[in-house]
A and B are shown apart, each in its own frame.
Chain A
């Protein structure tokens, strides 16, 4: 342990001062650790020597950033830079705005309206009435658009059907043409064998 009491005033001898700093600094860190363990405390310790050297200790349960953040909240003193302060202020502003918007939405949902006076109730009623008109108009637009699409598709289908019929008729006409040529070309030779085939073709056309 110590060897005699010393006066608590600046140590003038530079060498002695450095030695004392080193010993006492370590003792301070040791005691900081002890109180952390014994008492569930959170401690942040930063020491700068007169020569600019630094030693720091932060308890294991919380990092220094979180410690300092909590310090700011509890002490009211700001340690961080302007950009952090600005971001923090902006967050507060958005929170307030969200609270305000939340309340407005609740009114538009018919909630929490007991506290509204007659004038405000009429304003909300008017807003909802106006909104309802727009919603219905929009639904009508969608339905009209849908019906128009259906008509267009029906028209297109009709045209396609017509074209198909035209093509079928053209094919049928070609078939008759071919049959006639065949008949002419083989007149003298094939009169008897063609007759049953002719019957079949006529029946087929009638069915079509």
Chain B
């Protein structure tokens, strides 16, 4: 058990104070529990340490709210009266702030102006003009950012397109080989008449015409020439 009497005054050493708090708190809760068991008592203990940490004991046969309510009934005290008044005052102040904020907003939207005199209206006008400039500047900056972003996207798209076109051009320029018709010029046709006393060398120039030996006799000029010489 304890080792020597201690003076009941604030413990200055913080560590000792905390240790003592912890030990005595547990002791207090233990004794509260004993009282509950031995004597059918109902006990509520609520403790806050110097650092505002919460610890509580509540007898198992009841609840904290039950004890608090019963306490208020028996002592005829409203423990919340002070809190309630404080909250009502807080609410009043909040509502006033709310009203002020709403009025200021409405005035900047051009409403609730009857309360203002000509000087106040001028000041409000000046402030709003400044705000208008600020917002417009910001809008243009934002717009500029968007334009810049769009331009970059556009350039990116154009680069992709250019690459694709270039690739297509490369494919189009590849040489492919096939038959080339050079016009079908035939240089000469030689004919000899061996049986006659005279031999003739005949040369035809028939550009842009195909010469078909099997049908040569049907060609008008060729046919005439040949016939003439053969008859002679």
Contacts and interface: CB of A to CB of B under 8 A. Distances in A.
Interface of A: 6, 8-11, 17-18, 20-21, 24-25, 27-28, 31-32, 34-35, 37-50, 52, 54, 56, 63-71, 74-75, 77-81, 83-84, 87-88, 90-91, 94-95, 97-98, 101-102, 104-105, 108-110, 113-114, 116-118, 121-122, 124-125, 127-136, 138-139, 142-143
B135 A38 contact: no
A25 B47 CA distance: 17
A41 B53 CA distance: 10
A132 B135 CA distance: 14
A133 B124 CA distance: 12
Interface in B134-164: 134-136, 138-139, 142-143, 146
B218 interface: no
A67 B55 CA distance: 12
B80 A135 contact: no
Interface string B5-27: 01011110000011011001101
A94 B70 contact: no
A22 B138 CA distance: 76
Chain A contact residues, majority secondary structure: helix
A143 B101 CA distance: 28
B37 interface: yes
B110 A88 contact: no
A103 B129 CA distance: 19
Which among B8, B28, B52, B135 has the greatest number of chain A C-beta atoms within 10 A? B135
A98 B138 CA distance: 26
Interface stretch (B88-96, B198-206, B223-231): B88-96
18 contacts: A24-B31, A25-B35, A34-B8, A35-B20, A38-B9, A38-B24, A43-B47, A44-B45, A48-B62, A48-B67, A67-B46, A67-B48, A81-B80, A98-B101, A101-B98, A105-B101, A122-B139, A134-B111
B219 interface: no
B10 A38 contact: yes
A92 B62 CA distance: 31
Contacts of B38: 6, 8-11, 17, 20-21, 24
A104 B28 CA distance: 53
